[in-house]
Amino acid sequence: MARTGERNKGPIRVGVLFSETGVTSTIGRSQLQGTLLAIDEVNAAGGVGGREIVPVICDAQSNPARYALLAEHLITDQKVNVIFGCYMSSSRKAVLPVIEKWNKLLFYPTLYEGFEFSNNIIYTGAAPNQNSVQLAEFMTANFGARVYLIGSDYIYPYESNRIMGDLVLQRPDSEKLAERYVPLDAGLADFDAIMEDVRAQRPDFIFSTVVGDSTASLYRAYAQAGFDPRTMPIASLTTSEAEISQMGWDVAAGHYTSAPYFQSIDSDSNRGCLARLRQRFGSECVPNLCWEAAYFQLHMFANALRDSGDDDIAQIMPHLLGSEFDAPQGRVRIDPSNHHTCLFPRIGRAEATGQFTIVREARRPVHPDPYLVTHSLGDWTAKLHEQR
């Protein structure tokens, strides 16, 4: 580290900005734990060139305005150059202008609806071509193309539903039966009228973009209505092991989720990572796709920092772009042209054990295409392989 001088000898302070409370706190806490586990691992292995990584943790309470305030606080008062954080698009949009104003770096470990690029953000969750396209392909091929869309009332569901609708409608005999939105804090009763409508319309499958705590209410309302996942399952991009643990395993069984990561991935790297997580946090953490992204992005940051010796964005960015890492999901890579990540799309079916059976899996990483330049079903680069 000699070339970077005296000021780069002490510990490296990084901002960690997730929601430990509020409607998206289940995922937020898991993302925090993924981040902290990776920091522990880096520090246990001697830090970055002998320097320890020290997290400065703030709780944004699932509130976009608070995300913006805390990002400003982390940068101006805590003097961090890098922040790991955000879940809902509204939180990322709130932090983005702050990050750009101070020319700092944000790592965003969450799938989102795409149509964004910032020089100051590294996106490690799935873009729509890495989850929506595969899910549309799988659901329409196996269940039919009459879809019923249900989402939380904000931008990610609007846009994701639009993308899913466009994809499904490429099929013959396809139909978008309805597009319904519920508040972010929706309870069981908010789904009553929707379930009655589902009963009347009999879709081939339901596409859910409900996020946070209200996810459990949707799946419970479905179960109470007596519907059968074998003939009319719910398909989602956000219903992970964490949401399933909230709703009850039996309620989730039989429904499908498209994600680059499931706990059930059969690899040494994944099993090892899960074992270390349990050792560190016990069973309170429920690993999921956003947890995994939070985990591997911290390691990618540490590796890049090892090369650059400085966490200033101008110094570290060239070492991040194009870098690769053996993540629990497989070997991921940050695409230099759009700052999103090459990932391994998978389709999982929830089981009564609280785990997903992976029924489709990409053998090669799929390049991120945040602006959906290519967005047709049957695109060979997005093809998944059947798991046996």
Partner 1 sequence: MLRVAVLHPDDTDGRQLTQQLQRIGCQVQAFWPPMPTLPEGTDVVFLAVQPEISQLEFAWAKAENPPTCIAVVNYENPTIVETVLRLGAKAVLPAPVRSFGLLSALVIARTVNDEIQGHARRIRKLESKLTGVRRIAEAKGILMRTRNVTEEQAYDLIRDQAMSKRVTTEDIAAAIINANDILSMGAPRVEGAGGLN
Q: Which residues bind partner 1 (CB under 8 A)?
A: 89-90, 93, 97, 100-101, 113-116, 153-155, 158-159, 162
Nearer to partner 1, 54 or 155 (CB): 155
CB nearer partner 1, residue 162 or residue 276: 162
> Which C-beta is closer to partner 1: that of 26 or that of 89?
89
Residue (30 or 89) nearer to partner 1, CB: 89
Q: At closest approach, how far in Å is the CB of 115 from partner 1?
A: 4
The least distance separating partner 1 from the CB of residue 315, rounded to whole angstroms, comes to: 25
Nearer CB in complex with partner 1: 89/308: 89
State the CB neighbour count (10 A cutoff) for residue 4: 14
Least distance from C-beta 162 to partner 1, angstroms?
A: 6
Decide whether 54 or 178 has the Cβ nearer to partner 1: 178
Closest CA to 239 of 385, 115, 161, 348: 348
Residue 300's nearest CA partner among 284, 317, 288, 286 is 317
Contact residues for 191 (Cβ-Cβ < 8 A; gap 6+): 150, 182, 217, 218, 221, 222
**What CA–CA distance (Å, rounded) separates 121 from 83?**
10
